[in-house]
Amino acid sequence: MQRLTPLLLVSLALTWLTPALAQTPDYIIQSNGAPMRALQQAPGQTPRLAPAPAQTAPAAAALPSPAPAASAPAFRPANGRPKIKIGLILPNESAALGEAAAVVRSGVEAAAQVDQNAELVSVDATTDNVVQRYRAAVADGVNVVIGPLSRGAIAQLAPSVTVPTLALNSIDRDAAANAKLFSLSLIVEGEARQLAQLMRDDGRANPLLVVGGDALSQRLAKAFADEWRRLNGKDALRQAYDPNNLPALLQASGQADSLALALDAAQAGKLKAALTPDLPVYGTSQLNAGGNQPELAGVRFIDMPWFLMPDHPAVKRYPRPTTPLTAQTERLYALGIDAYRLAVLMAGSRPGASVKLDGVTGDLKLGRDRVFERQLPAGVMGGNALQ
């Protein structure tokens, strides 16, 4: 176990994941081929972050380089009570998930450095050894846990959870039920359901759901369709996205009063350029690739406050990555910030108590089956107007 007593944010440099890695089912970034930072060591070894490139513009909230890990006595605040000890259990050395773990960890460390109300203990664990490593961390005094990251590791650990544990992925239905196991994740299904609710609230009655062929878009489309049927008692129109047959899509859109896009940003941009400008178009955070996206101007979408509400007090309290990430990858960094904040709340909460957080990833509320639900704000592509 590695104690993170100077809690420091690390610089990140970028590269591209291989298609196989990007398609890993446990990988929770909502993008295929999501960019990450380069490793200095071969896959399977402990990830080391590559040095950040020279800055060409002022860096946002730059922090010192990480100091060597060292043990330190537990800090005792003025009230005399021991500081919370949080176990951060992530697959740091995993070839498939080590990079994602590094970004989550940097977000956790950033929040810990700002709030300074807990001690972090970093634990590297895979599905094969997660139970052993978890028990050792609890025996060492950890009283709340963040992780694991993969659904397989979560299912393996579930029967052995003994302290409040915040898994960073969805929990499989066949995993053992445990009252101390909770879930916070960025699954696309939650956004799809909120998108259906937003369109209903906006008065849309006959949307056309345009669906890409990749697995992520298919999942988004199913969740949207199910929620629309639940809300309205009827099915939404549906059309597969075919870049070689846009006339068919345009004809189908003539029967709708709005479009819901289960597409990536590039596909959405091509379709939006062919549409009449007065047709309302909606999407999820999948469309927000960051930066200027004039081809999607006017699209109404939902995303986390970290991107849509940068001046909100709960958001601007925490530093941005020293080296900017892509919008998709930075979502894991924001997830780490909220995971830390929730872990602190959970450590001090009574069993069964309601837990809420004005989070950087959304308004978080503990819902059914100990899953934290995220409520996201809406924005408009090409501007900062929130509605």
Do the two domains 2-187+312-375 and 188-303 of this chain adopt the same fold?
yes
Arithmetic mean of pLDDT over the chain:
81
* Whole-number pLDDT of residue 368: 85
- State the average pLDDT over residues 112-120: 94
CB under 8 Å to 102, separation ≥6 — which residues?
A: 10, 37, 47, 49, 92
Q: Tell me how far apart the alpha carbons of residues 333 and 109 are, in angstroms, rounded to a whole number.
A: 10
Stretch among 62-71, 116-125, 375-384 having the lowest mean pLDDT: 62-71
CATH code matching the domain that covers 2-187+312-375, chosen among 3.40.50.2300, 3.90.1150.10, 3.40.50.300, 2.60.40.420: 3.40.50.2300
Model confidence pLDDT, tens digit, residues 133-143? 999 999 999 99
Q: Tell me how far apart the alpha carbons of residues 119 and 74 are, in angstroms, rounded to a whole number.
A: 7
- State the average pLDDT over residues 64-91: 55
Helices (H), the chain: 19-22, 98-115, 130-139, 151-157, 188-201, 215-232, 246-253, 265-274, 305-308, 313-316, 327-347
211 φ, ψ (degrees, to nearest 5):
-120, 125
Higher per-residue pLDDT: 6 or 334: 334
Stretch among 114-118, 188-192, 306-310, 379-383 having the lowest mean pLDDT: 379-383
- Tell me the CA distances in angstroms from 176 to 109, 151, 161, one per residue in order: 30, 12, 10
Share of the chain above pLDDT 70, in %: 77
pLDDT > 50? residue 22: no
Give pTM, 2 decimals: 0.81
Contact assessment for residue 322 and residue 11, using Cβ atoms and an 8 Å cutoff = yes
Domain ranges of the chain: 2-187+312-375, 188-303
Model confidence pLDDT, tens digit, residues 229-266? 999 999 999 999 999 999 999 999 999 999 999 999 99
- State the average pLDDT over residues 368-385: 86
* Whole-number pLDDT of residue 81: 54
Helix orientation angle between 215-232 and 188-201, rounded to the nearest 10 degrees: 40
Domain spanning 188-303 has what CATH number?
3.40.50.2300
pLDDT > 80? residue 20: no
* Whole-number pLDDT of residue 66: 31
